[in-house]
Amino acid sequence: MNTFIHGGNVQANGIRQHYLRYGGDRHNDKPALILIPGITSPAITWGFVAERLGKYFDTYVLDARGRGLSSTGSELDYSVDTCADDIAAFAQAMGIDSYHLVGHSMGARFIVRSAVRNARGLKSLVLIDPPVSGPGRREYPAKLPWYVDSIRQSQAGMSADDMRAFCPTWSQEQLQLRAEWLHTCYEPAVVRAFNDFHDEDFHKDLPNLPVPALLIVAGRGGVIQAEDEAEIRQLQPQIMVARVENAGHMIPWDNLPGFFVAFGDFLGQPLNG
């Protein structure tokens, strides 16, 4: 069942925000769902996930500023606060007055900051393997040159086979899509986000979450370890935690069925149908 409705652009928080919509108005009786991808993932690369989410929710996948078809360039601010404010501004500009926020990696850090800065209309948060690095903490396991080298190669033009050197476990279809779209990821925006993984204190917001939260952990991702999970539970005792085995940091790429099972009925119903 194809749930894709359309792509579109809206002016919000002073920039053009591009989105892909799945599910549509037939879900008007429930909160919408807004999905924020990771550091070098334009919205279209999450289409295979959004197709399923669109069966259950009016689903919007955003291109974060500096990625995909949203505004980009040297004049923009790529700080966590500004990127977080983009999310609430998008919801307001689209007339979405009730919504769940789902974020992967960088997107998970953005939605946590958005929740504490702009809680209006927000119903719940799903944090998918957020980086837990920060001041005085161990580094994020991925290294910056992995991102920069692949972006620069994509700008010159690269094939799916070229991309395999960076993402050896991905399918041909996934590699093709990343090779096609990675050049839209603006290098300074990516560098800022990567540096913010280490310079911004993700943990400070956790005690102040205004809505229920679910943490989805990659079983073999190496991003969130047992001691990190324990600290997160201590900071936010109400948080629910689900672990997806046989999955690295890009969880749905590695174990799509397990990814949807991890949601359980947190959003009001299972997503495994």
Task: List, for residues 32-64, the tens digit of each pLDDT value.
Answer: 999 999 999 999 999 999 999 999 999 999 999
Record the tokens describing residue 121, joined without a space: 């209309």
pTM: predicted TM-score of the whole model, two decimal places: 0.98
pLDDT band at 221 (very low <50, low <70, confident <90, very high): confident
pLDDT at res. 229? 97
Q: What is the pLDDT of residue 273?
A: 63
pLDDT > 70: what percent of the chain? 100
Q: Are 217 and 233 in contact (CB under 8 A)?
A: no
Q: Residue 135: count other Cβ atoms within 10 Å of its Cβ.
A: 11
Residues 96-116, mean pLDDT to the nearest whole number: 98
3-state secondary structure of 26: helix
Which DSSP symbol is given to 146? Answer: H
Nearest to 177 by CA among 165, 189, 151, 159: 159
pLDDT surpassing 90 at residue 272: no
Q: How do beta strands 59-62 and 15-22 pair? A: antiparallel
pLDDT higher than threshold 80 for residue 1: no
Contacts of 173 (CB under 8 A, 6+ apart): none
- Residue position matching structure tokens 């579109």: 8
Pairing of strands 99-104, 122-128: parallel
The pLDDT tens digits of the residues spanning 147-202 come to 999 999 999 999 999 999 999 999 999 999 999 999 999 999 999 999 999 999 99
pLDDT averaged over every residue in the chain: 97
pLDDT on residue 215: 98
Torsion sign, CA atoms 78, 247, 55, 48: positive
- Pairing mode of beta strands 15-22, 4-12: antiparallel
Q: Report the C-alpha gap between 139 and 132 in whole angstroms.
A: 9
CA angle (84 as vertex; 83, 87 as ends), nearest 5: 95
Residues 67-101 have pLDDT tens digits of 999 999 999 999 999 999 999 999 999 999 999 99
Domains of the chain: 4-135+201-262 (3.40.50.1820)
